[in-house]
Amino acid sequence: MNQPPVNHFFEFLNTSRLVRYLLLFAFGWAIIQLLAFFETVIVVFTFATILAFLLSYPVQWLKKYTSHGIAVCVVFLTSLILLIALSITLGLGILSQGQELFSQAPDLMQSFLPILEKTEQWLNELNIPVDLEAFETGLQEQLSNLFSFVLSFLQGFLSNFATLIFILVVAFFMLLDGKQIWNFVVRLFPSSLQDSLTDSLKNNFLGFFRGRLILSVFFAITTFLVCLILKTPYPLILAVIAGFFDLIPGIGATIGILLVALILIPQGIFLSLQIIIYCILIQQIEENLLMPRIMQDSVNLNPVVIFFVLLFGLQIAGLLGLFLAIPITGVIVSLFELEELKG
């Protein structure tokens, strides 16, 4: 007789394998705890590395005409001046429209009630008994939570201004001497992995953020133009929301479109539908025309893997994990040549 499958399973899961799996689990748990403990440090050096990488392109071009130190100083100061000017210009507009939006938040919530009442009446006429009172209460609570989240996010951003300054300082010194530090880090790995690790990080990690930034700026600008054409209120706020969520791969653009449409529902359902249609068209242009060209050397993952690691990263490290999950997974898949997990 054939041996029962259960015995085969217990033979496979012998003591040595079980110990290895438990050690692997403990090692993963320890890494998660270290990430949580050093979250601020990781945030600072991650974004400083991304910023330094983005600025390295103009630095390399300018080095053809001057020394490395002067090129770094010129590019960094020029970028800083442009960033401050852009932040002041956009910040004043966002602050003005944001105050108007928050002042009208109670009216925005109340404007949903007639729509729900008409929907309930229409369903009752079709002999579909529905009571939307509980849904109305939940909707009001969710909208209140949404505005509270946005407000707390802005307050947190302003309170972490010192962290932003520290990121800029670290990025500046990475531009100056980052190559020596990276060579030291790479030497900690086996020589057979050093070149592939450098290429994988450049293409998957840093290339991912460069591509997502370009695509989100495109999505924000085109959304802003659509809002101006349709004469919607708060065009700058809506464009910023759409562009910010577009940074999240996979589902980010869809979430941003739905939020924009939700904010515009009091202005008319037809206007919200127009925004959805135009933004979906923009999203298709972005994903089918721009993304293959911009992200051609970047992350190549199966969509199922993308959604899994997004949820996993969100659970482990919150918003930071959401942004880092995809490029880190891309590095691992590329480094160990896991072809089954590629798209």
171 part of a folded domain: yes
What pLDDT is recorded for position 298? 67
Is the residue at 14 inside a domain? no
173-192, pLDDT tens digit by residue? 888 887 777 777 777 777 77
Mean pLDDT of 86-108: 67
Which comes out higher in pLDDT, residue 107 or 304? Answer: 304
Instruction: Please report whether residue 140 resides in a domain.
Output: yes
Band (pLDDT 50/70/90 cuts) for residue 221 is very high
Question: pLDDT for 232-251, tens place per residue?
Answer: 888 888 888 888 888 877 67
Residue numbers of the domain that contains 184: 36-188
Task: With respect to residue 176, please indicate whether it lies within any of the assigned structural domains.
Answer: yes
pLDDT at 225: 92
Chain mean pLDDT for the chain: 75
Determine the pLDDT at residue 148: 60
Per the structure, the count of domains in the chain is 1
Q: Which H, E and C letters describe the chain, residue by residue?
A: CCCCHHHHHHHHCCHHHHHHHHHHHHHHHHHHHHHHHCHHHHHHHHHHHHHHHHHHHHHHHHCCCCCHHHHHHHHHHHHHHHHHHHHHHHHHHHHHHHHHHHHCHHHHHHHHHHHHHHHHHHHHHCCCCCCCHHHHHHHHHHHHHHHHHHHHHHHHHHHCHHHHHHHHHHHHHHHHHHHHHHHHHHCCCCHHHHHHHHHHHHHHHHHHHHHHHHHHHHHHHHHHHHHHHHCCCCHHHHHHHHHHHHCCCCCHHHHHHHHHHHHHHHHCHHHHHHHHHHHHHHHHHHHHHHHHHHCCCCCCCCHHHHHHHHHHHHHHHHHHHHHHHHHHHHHHHHHCCCHHHCC
Residue 94 lies in a domain: yes
pLDDT in tens, 69-93: 888 889 889 988 988 887 777 766 7
pLDDT at position 232, please?
86
In a domain, 137, yes or no: yes
pLDDT category, 134, cuts 50, 70, 90? low
Residues 298-321 pLDDT 10s: 667 777 777 888 888 777 767 677
The pLDDT, as a whole number, for residue 184 is 77
- Would the pLDDT of 222 be above 90? yes
In a domain, 199, yes or no: no
Tell me, yes or no, whether 336 lies in a domain.
no
Is it the case that residue 171 has pLDDT exceeding 80? yes
Q: What is the pLDDT of residue 1?
A: 46
